[in-house]
Structures are given as structure tokens and as C-alpha cells.
Amino acid sequence: MKKVIIGMSGGVDSSVAAIVLKDQGYDVIGLFMRNWDSSINNDILGNPDLDNNICPQEQDYNDALKVCETIGIPLHRVDFVKEYWDYVFTYFLEELKKGRTPNPDVMCNKYIKFDMFAKEAKKLGADYIATGHYAQIKDNKLLRGIDQNKDQTYFLSQISKSQLENVLFPIGDMVKDDVRKIAEKYNLITADKKDSTGICFIGERNFSKFLSNYLPNQEGDIVNIETDEVVGKHIGLMHYTIGQRRGLNIGGNKDRIFVVGKDLDRNVLYIAHGDNNEYLFSDAALIEDVNWISNTKPDKCTAKFRYRQPDNDVIIEYIDEKHVLVKYPQKVKSVTPGQACVFYQGEECLGGGIIKEVYKNNMKLWYV
């Protein structure tokens, strides 16, 4: 009997993934990863999710433990707090300092879930590792999950082809409603548990308050890029991203207002009015740290420049092993440095990289 070590997060997806594996005849063992010291900042910030003095991460572990007891598999626990800090959280802070908008989930998959976790699983004698991701592997190709609303291949784009060997995604061919129905059938405590949202180490905390513990706020002007008029004050450039509309605290305007750029040297946040303002659009981007999962490296394919964005037709120009120039003459809105650019050919996820620079009409957009 083949042994599978599955990452148990305390959510419904990993819970049902474990059931599917067990029904398929595998020897299934759960492994819970503690990636963040939840006591950090609690005294300073408070945590609205605290229930009977149990932090959310500990509650997740307790839920995972109850699920494993219900379905009859053991659960181990491993501490990756230092590794997560070194490889994910430090990266997150450094990117923010550069004025970029990082995606820590992409790096968590690369360095923690499919590296550190896999090594720990081997110690437990794993033939395979598994997670509750909505993705599929067929014929050595990484494919989108059947549930297009939940597909998570975007977050797997920095994983190497070798890291995906001996990996199982048991619910990749299922939709979320069916996953919950299975959880209800087995009376799992996670059946009605809401999906986690936002950045995992922040959870339901106030983002600005959390971040101020690590990066000092530096207030500055908010400037209308079209008129050069100062229209307000920002609380620190790290708190804003290109295309952001909410939280600007600029009143008295009928038109919708969007963040269109940042000037780190002058500490200025630029805004513009209207959903289709020209300052929101670009037609090319330089992508760094490009990782190819597929053997296919096309000149034309589709790409997502952020999660839940529709596919965009793109042309790829290869610069070197880790850099490509991606062109999209039809123009795309709010392409943001620091975010992942992920390539697709049909249902296959080819890989991806990190957006470094953004261009329009052959000129680098200095304001992003």
C-alpha cells in the first residue's frame, strides 16, 4: 500500500482530499504545518478571531486533529516558523520596501509546502505528498482545477517540475459545492468552515496596524497624476497597490478614483479618475525569476497578471533564462510590479515569473 502524506490545514479542502485518498486505498497520514508564530503582535494589535483565547492557527490545528480522528488517520505536526520567516515573510517585507505588491502565497508554495513539507514527508516514509489545492496533474502536466472559480495553479507557478513529481491533488477534478457535500456526508467539523482569505499571517487583523510593526509608516501626498494637484494624504506607500480603489479616503468626487502609481523617491501616491483611465493600462511587462513547469515555451500563449483575472493573449520575447518580455498590444489594466505573471496554454499552466517593470508605447512607466 502506497503511503501519502497530506498537508492538513484545518480547512474543508484538505479534509476532503484526505477522504478521497483514503477511499482510493492509500495509507494516508496527515501533517499540519505551523508556519507562523500567532502570538506575534497579539498583545499589540489584538486578534478579532480569538475564541476562548485560542488563536486561529491553533484552532486550525484542533480542527485538523478532529477531522483526522473522524476519518481515522494519524496527524503529525511540524514547525516551519523560522523557514517561513526567512523565505516568505522577509521576501514580503523587502518587496514592500521596493514599492511592489508581493504575493506571499506563491513563495509559500515554492519554499514551504513543496520543499520543506516534502522533505518532512520523506522522513515519514512518503511515496507521495498531497494537498487540497484545486489543480490537476495529468501526463506530467500541471492543469487548471475543474472549478474555474477556485483554480489555484496561479499560486503554483513558481514550483519546479521536479517539485511536482509524486504530488497528488485529490480534489482538483471537483467543484467546491461537491467538496462541501462530501464533508457534510462524513460529518466533518470543517464542512461549513469558511474559506481563509487574505494574507495567511495577517488573517483578520488590520493590515496597516500589522505592517507598522515591521515597516514604519511614512505619510506623504496623494497627487492627481493628470493635474499634479495634491488631493490628500497617504499613510505609507506600502499600503497601496496599482488599481486599488478603496481606502483612499478622498471624498467629494463623483468619478471612481484609482491608484495608478507610486514615486518612492518623492514619497508620492498617484491617483486618477475613471475605470478606463489611460494611466491604468500598459502594453508590455518585463518578467523576472521566470520558472517553466512545462517543456513548452511558446512565443504566444495567454497569461494572468493577477489571480482571478481573465486570461490575456500575450506575445513572449525571451531575453535570458530567467527573464522574458511579455507584450499585450490590446492593453491590460493594473499590471502591478511584484505580482505573479502566470502563463497558460489552454488548460495547462506553463509556469510564470514576477512582474518587474511595466511599459506602454515602448516606454517604462516610471510611476509604477
For residues 248 and 262, membership in a common domain is answered with yes
Q: How many residues does the chain have?
A: 368
Return the C-alpha cell found at 345: 496554454
For residues 73 and 159, membership in a common domain is answered with yes
Average pLDDT, the chain: 91
For residues 17 and 98, membership in a common domain is answered with yes
Least confident of 53-57, 156-160, 185-189, 248-252: 53-57
pTM as predicted: 0.92
The per-residue pLDDT for 7 is 98
The per-residue pLDDT for 58 is 84
| pLDDT beyond 70 at 185 | yes
The per-residue pLDDT for 132 is 97
Residue 200 is a catalytic residue:
yes
For residues 173 and 84, membership in a common domain is answered with yes
Within-domain flag for 194:
no
CATH number, domain with residue 347: 2.40.30.10
For residues 149 and 68, membership in a common domain is answered with yes
The per-residue pLDDT for 201 is 66
Least confident of 31-35, 167-171, 273-277: 273-277
**Residue range 87-96, pLDDT digits in tens:** 999 999 999 9
pLDDT band at 199 (very low <50, low <70, confident <90, very high): low
pLDDT band at 37 (very low <50, low <70, confident <90, very high): confident
Candidate list 55, 108, 301, 349, residue with the active-site label: 108
The residue with greater pLDDT, 133 or 210, is 133
| pLDDT beyond 80 at 196 | no
For residues 44 and 178, membership in a common domain is answered with yes
For residues 109 and 50, membership in a common domain is answered with yes
Domain boundary among 273, 299, 318: 273
Residue 341 is a catalytic residue:
no
Report how far apart, in Å, the C-alpha atoms of 358 and of each of 224, 236, 344, 354 are: 20, 22, 20, 11
The per-residue pLDDT for 265 is 93
**Residue range 298-354, pLDDT digits in tens:** 999 999 999 999 999 999 999 999 999 999 999 999 999 999 999 999 999 999 999
pLDDT over 70 percentage in the chain = 91
Q: Are strands 167-168 and 128-130 parallel, antiparallel or unpaired?
A: parallel
The per-residue pLDDT for 57 is 78
> How many domains is the chain partitioned into structurally?
3
pLDDT band at 210 (very low <50, low <70, confident <90, very high): confident
For residues 33 and 125, membership in a common domain is answered with yes
The per-residue pLDDT for 324 is 98
Report how far apart, in Å, the C-alpha atoms of 119 and of each of 84, 115, 159, 167 are: 15, 6, 15, 13
For residues 109 and 245, membership in a common domain is answered with no
For residues 41 and 132, membership in a common domain is answered with yes
Q: Supply the range of the domain harboring residue 269.
A: 217-273
For residues 252 and 123, membership in a common domain is answered with no
Within-domain flag for 244:
yes
CATH number, domain with residue 261: 2.30.30.280
Within-domain flag for 57:
yes
The per-residue pLDDT for 366 is 80
Query: Can you tell me the mean pLDDT for 109-133?
Result: 97
CA distance 105 to 50: 23
CA distance 9 to 84: 15
Least confident of 204-218, 277-291, 320-334: 204-218
